[in-house]
Amino acid sequence: MLDVLIRSAEICDGTAAPRFTGDIAIHHGQVVAVGRVEDRARHVVEANGLFAAPGFIDVHTHYDCQISWDPQLTPSGWHGVTTVVLGNCGFTIAPCHPSDRELLMQMLLYVEGMPTSALAAGIHWEWTSFPEYLATLQRWQPALNVAAFVGHSAIRYFVMRDAATRRPATDDELMAMRQLLSEAMQAGAWGFSSSQSPTHFFGDGTPVPSRVASRDELRILAAALRPFERGVIEIAPEHLLGTAEDKIQDQQFYAVLAQAAGKVVSWAPLLHNPFEPQGALRVIDNAAHLQASALRVVPQVGCRPLEVRVTFGSSSIATENNPFWRPILAKPLAERTELLKSRPFRDELRALSSGGGWVAALGPSWTQIFLRWSPSANHLDWIDRSVADIAAARATDEVDTLLDLSLETNLACQWGIPIMNTDEEIVGQLLRHPAGLLALSDAGAHVDTLADHSFTTHLLGHWVRDRGLLSWEEAVRLLTSVPARLYGIPNRGELRPGFAADVVLFDPKRVAPGRTELWNDLPGGAHRLVQPAVGVEYVFVNGVAIVEQGKATMQRPGIVLRSTHGAAA
């Protein structure tokens, strides 16, 4: 008798082949049949036209810390994600000397927007080495399958301590780092991640350790992956906001790393910059040229605008880097409130907003600043509407609208400002380009500033159903077999016999992200942005339902994937 039988689903098998109506049989955590199945099962799901797909794979997350207090890895599973890759951009919490835990948490605060209070209260430190960290992950029994990079900054600090942020490594230190990386790979690390991004620094401006490394150091560490069957290098680029020519030069260096490692180098993010309309397309075309020469350099592309969140009640990554607002948000709340009420300050903002630059020193225009969340019931009609729209409806000017709504909530309401990937024509071309990799959820990071963990349901709802840019079959392929193939994740990414029973059932008429909510559920009471899923009815991980009839089951059937053997024992 089968464990699970899914009947009469519209099956998108992950290969982009035309979908078909059929059944899916699951037994002992594997798909055992796809098509017409007559066998009996302990649990039968009548799909009745729901679309079935392989479990979605999210290769760019930062769940390294959250998994400690939330092994469900919410909310990714609600959006059909069944496998996540942790440890991107060089920021991992292993290896770590016990005396350095506070420093790694400070780095995650400033770089990845994770509240230190939540990290201090929520991380259960049970390791020093990376192999011990992988073993700990398995003991925590995650709901999703987990693969983990070992981070360059963590390795560098483990070997060099405070010198890691100040100088190049000596030959002995470099060999010690290489040995740590080899040990991590032998234990099952999925690869090695790093960052050269100028946006990655501590609160006092000190660069994170990986940014101090020479390119020769990166090349030598990359070569440590060559003996292993699997492995990926992931990197945040030096010219994150540079020109296309800058990014192409970065890619040429990544080609050197790919050659040294004999592995894929996946870099992120490739964003469309509105000030260089064709720049991202030039960069991804260059990646295609490298791939044609067997140099596997793959840029990660996003399917939704990069939107930052701003609230005048507290500072955030967006305002920490804003020379106008940073000193204002450093003032005590009472003093800040009086300033925002004052006519001279409002007149100053009006003057700033009339000179052809960004309005209120925040966004490119009043039509591109949106009210995303408010604790006030009086604001419900304004949620997801722009400042320009709200001002017109309230018959007030935009500066007064922005500040009055904020003051009505004791400065708690949140404004969303899309800053990159705003041109859908360009983004659509990036999504369809065969040289790219759909990614960039950043799930687990920037928890009070970004909510891109729902990129899977956004792709299906917006780009497939609403825009018609992609077919259902092609969109599912981008979420499943493409990342599985590029990252060497075995027996996942397709619906076929012998593959793991990671399966998503969704309603094509409804699938979408829900409205963004502010949850105060982090350890210590810190808050985060959460988007529930709409239209995702069932999610199976290794044959066990973690979402059933649209509701989370709290089951934890995930495993820790290991690059050496494919999965933990």
108: closest CA among 91, 124, 130, 126? 91
**Are 526 and 520 contacting, i.e. CB atoms less than 8 angstroms apart?**
yes
Q: Note the Cα 555 to chain centre separation in Å.
A: 23
Phi, psi of 156 (to 5 degrees): -65, -45
Handedness of CA 266, 268, 271, 277 (dihedral sign): negative
The pLDDT assigned to 285 comes to 98
Q: What is the largest CA-CA distance in the chain?
A: 76
The predicted-structure confidence for 405-462, as pLDDT tens digits, reads as follows 999 999 999 999 987 788 999 999 999 999 999 998 999 998 877 788 999 999 999 9
Amino acid identity of residue 325, one-letter, is W
Per-residue pLDDT of 33-91, as tens digits, reads 999 999 999 999 999 999 999 999 999 999 999 999 999 999 999 999 999 999 999 99
474 neighbors 460 (Cβ within 8 angstroms): no
**pLDDT value of position 567:** 40
Q: Which segments of the chain have a pLDDT < 70? A: 317-318, 565-569
Domain boundaries, the chain: 311-419
DSSP alpha helix (H) spans, 293-380? 317-320, 325-329, 333-341, 343-352
Tokens representing 147? Answer: 């693969």
Average model confidence (pLDDT) for the chain?
A: 94
- What's the predicted TM-score (pTM) here? 0.94
CA-to-CA dists, residue 353 to 310, 343, 415, 417, 420, angstroms: 17, 15, 17, 15, 20
Helix (H) or strand (E) holding 376: none
> What is the SS3 assignment for 328?
helix
What SS3 class is residue 178? Answer: helix
